[in-house]
Structure 1
């Protein structure tokens, strides 16, 4: 018999932490738990329940793994193996195939909602799971209702609910379906197209202490800094690298959150110092940020889709960037670390790199070394892109025009910097993702082939450190990057541990 989904439960708005049996059910859903977890009242006012650790956690330690209740594939991804297709058909696709044929452009949020309702209709969800779905942050229902009544909220919440009810012929009332839609929307930007019971309990902070990623079809949660027993787990629901003004807008628009964490307060304080006495300084800066981001999106689309390898488009991009940067601050100087400037620099770098132009390296360095935070997955991936650019340049033939660029480095100097940066990438990647991930395994194999070079000093030695510093300072001088932004080389002990890890992965053949 299909489960019932009544909307008249007297404890409908009781938070999850007030349901001991439900808390235990949710924690039992964790696939692999390295740290004891607890569900309790969140330390964030108005956030309802939260997820806490019950023992100390070191930086880079895994907290838990889980298999999400559902994952909706992005429709742009068309390549799916036969085994996955058959599994998907058995589990859910036969219930939604007809609808998706009629509406191939149905948003992934709507598909996720439709899938849950189909499971509910067939009684495929456990009763405790239904209770959990009902209990997960029901305060969102109030936001959706009040926003709709005030004419401010996104009508997509109600429209998606109505569409899903029609497509599934669901017995659920419209308000219940809308609640599910609101809950899915809250987590969608953070987890893409997946929904997980326990991860949904993790509340937002721009100053996150954990991050979430997928390894295959498994969801993993790891710490990005140390936590003490009793600390609440937080993730950033939006792009943690984005500027505070962008983050606050996104959080308000998509999640109805007003974040005032320490990270936000410090960035606002810095902005007010940098902008000066301009009237409505933050609103003015936000407008300029939008202008710069829109320019980046527009020029990127033109270059990659309409006029590939058109160097004039790159020059135009640079000129328009310079014009917009001058408008934001009274002295006409946009701070190099304030987004979206680093993002724009990385986009320019990719274009110049596509043209095999040495200037790409300048923009990669500016877009990576001038960011506020040197930790987390963004730092790993961005610095790795710098390494790849350096290595590609060392492979240019002797008669390449690149070697005639005034002040440019010699081949061995580029190699020195690449080897130094690669060590940092490897060590940071182990902390961020863990050694047992495919990315880190591939990265360490890559490093095993490139860290040593005949005739060059061995990494971890004093001779290498001396050469690395000289080469990096030469590179930063050429690129116009302040030397205080240099990347430190790991100490000998850290390099020795990295070597052991590389040997372990190599011996296992991973």
Structure 2
């Protein structure tokens, strides 16, 4: 279980919410719950609040669904996503529920920008009318005057606009004030976002009757408690969910949240016992322990001390002792890795340019050998190369690098593993039908297909466990598998004899890409 330092003080606005069980029960009753939950004193967050399971929750189970208090679309998504219902033009799944094929032309919802502010977009007059009634009437003029306001500023505008328009219930407003994070508790985060200036500007722009200090504390609560809206089609914005905000962080979480339309869903990633505190990750788990530590401290002013972080910290210190590099140099290099991944496409680097920069970064830590594939963030860099090769139609190298990145992943469960596996299979599917798949040094086409079939079945099993059978993403996986199933030669995944054929096929493919056979995938269901 995770622990966080330094321990924040209890919320100044009347104490921690777990002391008001009537309010807690009201919030929980408004959820679409699948299990019994309680809001109680946290065992992770000293003097804070946590969400607890009151009954055993199996792995891969739904915990609750909710409609968040406030959502806000990212600036780059205004003309792509409806600001009210989150209908999107940037969709990966077509009207038939299948994954969009390359080059497929789709009928997409028209997103029309507000004619007054030119910022918020809507898919229909109905959504625009509902947004006006709920918040946009009060934020529209502010956005018109500040159309380039960043995401966090616009989120504060919306929180204040909803208060001004009387959108919050009495209980929602009380709960909002119980959220962790006021200016005194989280001053570094507040200052980094120029909190005082933005808060004063928001008060004037929205013409809020709240005092300056109250707005500053609200802004700090927003900065501390919002979550990214995550689903398989990207992250279109941020959200503030009241019950979700009381779930504490772990880098080894037992639950996660994703969005289906405008609805937040929380599901279990591992078995949760009755009485256990539910945890989520606040950061990107595909990054190394030092990068996670850095981002958590910058964004939330605490350090995670879960078992995963302790283990990875110990392993990294042992590696630094053996190899002779400093931890400071390592985190500096990891930051440069992160910048390289982001800049490779925005700056239109060639593959040779990325390889040259990567070699320089590697020599700073490992002067005489390559960066280990299993040491983060190399797995993500492999996928970066796969994308670069794919964009130049080199499907062979795209498949090789994607498989190397996928199999370098040691945490093979949860949404990160599903995403890696799915991304690899997309590159591999393009490769096995490309002319380069017939080259002499490549495994037999039947072995390539059996390897693909087994991993697609694995993706379906893992995806349904992570997202649930009724999620659009899982339904698209089912349809993808059904289409491939029609072309499969027996034995099929799950039938007698498939395990041996898959094992042989996987061994051949791993030898071809230069990956140790011990890094292969153990399918969940073979027979």
TM range (shorter): 0.7 to 0.9
SS at match of 1:198: helix
Equivalent of 1:85, from 125, 128, 133? 128
Aligned residue number for residue 310 of structure 2: 265
Q: Which runs of 5+ in 2 are unaligned?
A: 1-10, 81-110, 112-122, 230-236
Compute the displacement of 1:50 (Å): 0.7
Equivalent of 1:346, from 376, 383, 391? 383
Aligned residue number for residue 186 of structure 2: 144
Contact map agreement 1:300 1:347 (CA 8 A) in 2: no
Contact map agreement 2:286 2:377 (CA 8 A) in 1: no
TM-score (norm 1): 0.87
- 1:186 equivalenced with 2:224 (yes/no): yes
CA distance in 2, matches of 1:235, 1:401: 43
Instruction: Please show how residues 28-427 of structure 1 align to structure 2 within 5 Å.
Output: 28-30=29-31, 32-46=32-46, 48-77=48-77, 78-79=79-80, 80=111, 81-82=123-124, 83-138=126-181, 140-145=182-187, 147=188, 153-191=191-229, 192-276=237-321, 281-303=326-348, 313-329=350-366, 332-357=369-394, 358-396=396-434, 400-404=435-439, 407-427=441-461
Please list the CA deviations of residues 366-416 of structure 1 after superposition, one character each: whole Å capped at 9, or x if unmatched.
1111113111112112111222222222222xxx24422x52123222211
CA distance in 1, matches of 2:414, 2:47: 25
CA distance in 2, matches of 1:261, 1:63: 22
CA distance in 2, matches of 1:402, 1:33: 49
SS at match of 2:185: helix
Evaluate the alpha carbon distance shift between residue 401 and residue 28 of structure 1 in structure 2; reply closer, same or farther with a 3 A threshold.
closer
Compute the displacement of 1:117 (Å): 1.3
Please list the CA deviations of residues 106-153 of structure 1 after superposition, one character each: whole Å capped at 9, or x if unmatched.
122222211221222233322222111111115x432234x49xxx94
Higher relative contact order (CA 8 A, sep 6+): 2
CA distance in 2, matches of 1:242, 1:88: 37
TM-score (norm 2): 0.84
Please list the CA deviations of residues 49-102 of structure 1 after superposition, one character each: whole Å capped at 9, or x if unmatched.
111010001000111000011111223221331143333233222221222122
Compute the displacement of 1:259 (Å): 1.2
Contact map agreement 2:227 2:239 (CA 8 A) in 1: no
Structure having the larger proportion of residues in helix = 1
- 1:27 equivalenced with 2:28 (yes/no): yes
SS at match of 2:264: strand
Compute the displacement of 1:322 (Å): 2.3
Please list the CA deviations of residues 141-192 of structure 1 after superposition, one character each: whole Å capped at 9, or x if unmatched.
32234x49xxx94142222211211111112111111111111111335454
Instruction: Please show how residues 422-433 of structure 1 align to structure 2 within 5 Å.
Output: 422-433=456-467
**Which moves more between the two structures, 448-457 or 161-170?**
448-457
Contact map agreement 1:68 1:218 (CA 8 A) in 2: yes
Contact map agreement 2:226 2:241 (CA 8 A) in 1: no
Evaluate the alpha carbon distance shift between residue 367 and residue 123 of structure 1 in structure 2; reply closer, same or farther with a 3 A threshold.
same
Contact map agreement 1:423 1:490 (CA 8 A) in 2: no
CA RMSD, Structure 1 to Structure 2 (Å): 2.1
Aligned residue number for residue 6 of structure 2: none
Evaluate the alpha carbon distance shift between residue 492 and residue 421 of structure 1 in structure 2; reply closer, same or farther with a 3 A threshold.
closer
Evaluate the alpha carbon distance shift between residue 267 and residue 162 of structure 1 in structure 2; reply closer, same or farther with a 3 A threshold.
same
Contact map agreement 2:499 2:526 (CA 8 A) in 1: no
CA distance in 2, matches of 1:208, 1:133: 24
Aligned residue number for residue 83 of structure 2: none
Contact map agreement 1:276 1:330 (CA 8 A) in 2: no
Compute the displacement of 1:326 (Å): 2.5
Contact map agreement 1:15 1:135 (CA 8 A) in 2: yes
Contact map agreement 1:370 1:485 (CA 8 A) in 2: yes
Compute the displacement of 1:316 (Å): 2.1
CA distance in 2, matches of 1:122, 1:347: 46
CA distance in 2, matches of 1:286, 1:37: 39
- 1:439 equivalenced with 2:465 (yes/no): no
Q: Which runs of 5+ in 1 are unaligned?
A: 1-9, 308-312, 494-510
Evaluate the alpha carbon distance shift between residue 187 and residue 338 of structure 1 in structure 2; reply closer, same or farther with a 3 A threshold.
farther
Contact map agreement 1:144 1:157 (CA 8 A) in 2: no
